[in-house]
């Protein structure tokens, strides 16, 4: 069925009574209630998923693709109700690259998972030896998602898993369980029983999932420390892993860049989802020859972007999703201010305001070793570091243990490409930042994780390669 608004959708997923209350980070108002599942509930879900998996796999690629495209249709039919719930629970505005954008991405990535043929690959055929590589289903995939893009990242995990014949058990973030439960409910109107299950629960449920003997692969998006814990807990069963972990993405501006021309794209590279994005631009290195111009152009753009309650159609920036993240951003900015850095915009939150709103903040004249630069702020605060030249910028960009994404900004494409090749990151964008595409593989370097998502590589990562020779 189609739901006309978030409240109708909530009525389909909430427990009849009890449960944990979830509050709007913009207003503090009650959004809804979620039943807290136990480890026993998780065990039951995994068992059901394992029982359902052979029949799902036996349907074949064509029928699974048909069902996944029907599931994308269901998302589109319920897009406004899903976006409203997402805005209320996560805080992101409906407009801009936010809630409606995320729902659109869910449908697009779901369809993209069906767009590739996954055929056996002939490895050797020389007249004497023949060998082909086949891609078989793994079994049951455990997916653990974050609170910043709860619906879309869930799709990134479940869509390729299902396409390749696996079943999926998902554990959403404790901050945004309603959004993922609602998404799962809509998808399960089309999918066979037990193929996709969402188990909302606390840390103990996530820990059990990552070490569960009946789970064949874990997909996780979140912090590096949690990713390391998953690696340890999955070791005894030698699970396959795809980990998209923390990033502290660097942006390098070249001397030939046009500050006014790049300012808006710089802004959205840093402040998409109010800065709460793993692959957002989180530290910007600018040569001293154009430093003042870049700071001024970026400040002019940032000052015009309205922040407020997500259901207000005028807003494009929202609150931090939770108090803990608000405190991280506030502490890092205050540390930069205390060190003598210059605040170009923001950095003075209204302590009396409802919700976890931290103002759009630009910080200049900051030491490259300041914590606001070297630690991932994951919020609406961007440090702008002055450098002598591009060589110094590259050194700073590569100095941290993270390497999810990076960007190079300049007018000479060949020079920008040469700089990009020297940056230690899984993806480097030229004159944009964070512009992902379901056709283009995505994954981190260094301690930002391993494994690829998206495209044909992402599908193959959800399968067991099998070589047949003869």
Instruction: Look at residue 125 and give its three-state secondary structure.
Output: strand
Tally Cβ neighbours within 10 Å of residue 174: 18
Task: Identify the active-site residue in 174, 278, 295, 453.
Answer: 278
Out of 89, 244, 376, 453, pick the active-site residue.
244
User: In terms of C-beta density within 10 A (0-12 exposed, 13-18 middle, 19 or more buried), how is residue 77 classed?
Assistant: middle
Task: Establish whether 244 is a catalytic residue.
Answer: yes
With tokens 């920036």, the residue in question is 317
CA-nearest of 31, 403, 387, 413 to 224 is 403
List helix spans (H) across 134-212: 150-163, 177-187, 203-211
User: What does the chain come to in residues?
Assistant: 470
79-90 vs 60-77: helix crossing angle, rounded to 10: 70
- Is 295 annotated as catalytic? no
Ranges assigned E (strand) in 38-128: 121-125
d(CA 174, CA 355): 18
Output phi, psi for 32, to 5 deg: 180, -175
Whole-Å CA distances, 38 to 13, 44, 268: 17, 10, 39
Beta bridge partners of 30: 23
Q: Are strands 240-244 and 449-450 parallel, antiparallel or unpaired?
A: antiparallel
Strand order in the sheet with 140-144: 196-198, 167-171, 140-144, 217-221, 240-244, 449-450
**DSSP bridge partners of 136:** 464
Residue 39, CA distances (Å) to 162, 396, 408 in order: 24, 44, 46
Which residues are identified as catalytic? 244, 278
């Amino acid at each position: 069925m189609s739901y006309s608004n978030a409240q109708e959708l909530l009525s389909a997923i909430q427990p009849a009574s009890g449960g944990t209350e979830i509050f709007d980070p913009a207003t503090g108002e009650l959004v809804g209630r979620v039943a807290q599942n136990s480890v026993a509930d998780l065990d039951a879900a995994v068992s059901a998923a394992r029982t359902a998996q052979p029949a799902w796999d036996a349907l074949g690629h064509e029928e699974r693709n048909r069902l996944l495209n029907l599931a994308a249709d269901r998302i589109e039919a319920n897009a406004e109700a899903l976006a409203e719930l997402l805005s209320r629970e996560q805080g992101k505005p409906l407009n801009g690259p936010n809630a409606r954008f995320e729902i659109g991405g869910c449908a697009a990535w779901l369809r993209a998972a069906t767009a590739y043929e996954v055929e056996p690959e002939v490895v050797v055929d020389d007249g004497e030896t023949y060998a082909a590589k086949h891609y078989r289903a793994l079994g049951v995939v455990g997916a653990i998602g974050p609170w910043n893009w709860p619906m879309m990242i869930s799709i990134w995990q479940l869509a390729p898993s299902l396409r390749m014949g696996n079943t999926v058990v998902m554990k959403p973030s404790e901050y945004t369980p309603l959004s993922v439960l609602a998404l799962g409910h809509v998808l399960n109107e089309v999918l066979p029983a037990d193929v996709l299950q969402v188990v909302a629960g606390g840390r103990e449920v996530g820990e059990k999932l990552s070490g569960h003997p009946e789970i064949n692969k874990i997909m996780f998006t979140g912090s590096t420390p949690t990713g390391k814990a998953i690696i340890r807990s999955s070791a005894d069963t030698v699970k396959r892993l795809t980990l998209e972990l923390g990033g502290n993405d660097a942006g390098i501006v070249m001397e030939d860049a046009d500050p006014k021309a790049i300012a808006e794209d710089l802004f959205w590279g840093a402040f998409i989802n109010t800065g709460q994005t793993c692959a957002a631009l989180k530290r910007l290195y600018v040569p001293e020859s154009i430093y003042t111009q870049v700071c001024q152009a970026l400040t002019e753009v940032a000052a015009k972007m309205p922040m407020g309650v997500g259901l207000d159609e005028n807003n494009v920036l929202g609150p931090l999703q939770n108090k803990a993240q608000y405190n991280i951003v506030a502490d890092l900015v205050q540390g930069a201010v205390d060190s003598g850095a210059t605040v170009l915009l923001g950095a003075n939150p209204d302590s009396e305001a409802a919700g976890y709103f931290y103002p759009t903040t630009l910080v200049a004249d900051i030491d490259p070793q300041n914590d606001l630069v070297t630690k991932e702020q994951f919020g609406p605060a961007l440090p702008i570091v002055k450098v002598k030249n591009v060589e110094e910028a590259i050194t700073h960009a590569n100095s941290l243990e993270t390497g999810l994404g990076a960007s190079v900004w300049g007018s000479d494409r060949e020079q920008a490409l040469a700089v990009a090749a020297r940056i230690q990151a899984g993806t480097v964008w030229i004159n944009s930042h964070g512009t992902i595409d379901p056709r283009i593989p995505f994954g981190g370097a260094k301690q930002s994780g391993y494994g690829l998502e998206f495209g044909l590589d992402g599908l193959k990562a959800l399968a067991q390669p099998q070589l047949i020779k003869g």
